[in-house]
Amino acid sequence: MRRHLIVLALVAGGGAGSAAYWFMADGEPRGRRVVASAGESAAAGRDVSTVRLALRPFDSEALRRDLRAYIRKRPGRAGVMVTDLRTGRSFGENADGRFVTASIMKVDILASLLLRRQRDGRGLTGTERALAGTMIRESDNAAANALYAEAGYGPGVTRANRAFGLKHTKPFPTSWGSSVTSPTDQVRLLTNLVSDGSPLKARGRRYVLGLMGSVLDEQAWGISSAAGRERGWR
């Protein structure tokens, strides 16, 4: 089957907090529907709603109108970026806007650490692998704190992000939770996880995607069970 991959990042922020969601749809899109949920307040409770993206026919203007209509209904502000990696088509709304990363920073932390270890000529230690599993699968903050230190805190992640081609992401020097990013950068990061042109080798990419594809049910926001071979994470 010919590979067809669509990546989407939605980042939202408001007075009560901020949150970010992204997903990848992999496989033959004909006749399929991909569902992405968005709208969790990081600081107060959960408010989950759904965006439905019909992939046939692919009408970019209609999709843009739907996304704008969805964003207008949200409190605060939001940004969306979508890229079809087969056709190269991209579009977004407030795609370069800066938002607090929320928990998606954890994927950036892991990708950055893997790239650092790759440059050192070694893999993750057993302890690091255990922490990575807890951080991604359970969205554990203590594990993220430990791995942020191993990745070199803000300066280390910034170095990795330059290699990944990220332009708007600013890791906070000592606390990952205060970092900022853009929807465009999140799509760039996702693309690095599925592209042979990524500085991160295939083994590392498979490792990150494997963890993202095995999150606990209570952490698996954003992906419909009706769509096969997707990986979602918040």
- Token look-up 């893999």 returns 123
Q: Tell me phi and psi for residue 126, to 5 degrees.
A: -60, -40
Are the beta carbons of 217 and 23 closer than 8 angstroms?
no
pLDDT in tens, 89-118: 888 888 899 988 888 899 999 999 999 999
pLDDT of res. 133: 97
User: Which residue segments constitute the domains of the chain, with CATH numbers given?
Assistant: 5-97+221-233 (no CATH), 102-219 (3.40.710.10)
Taking only the tens place, the pLDDT of each residue in 161-174 is: 999 999 999 999 99
Q: Which residue in the block uniquely carries the two structure tokens 């990546």?
A: 7
SS3 for 81?
strand
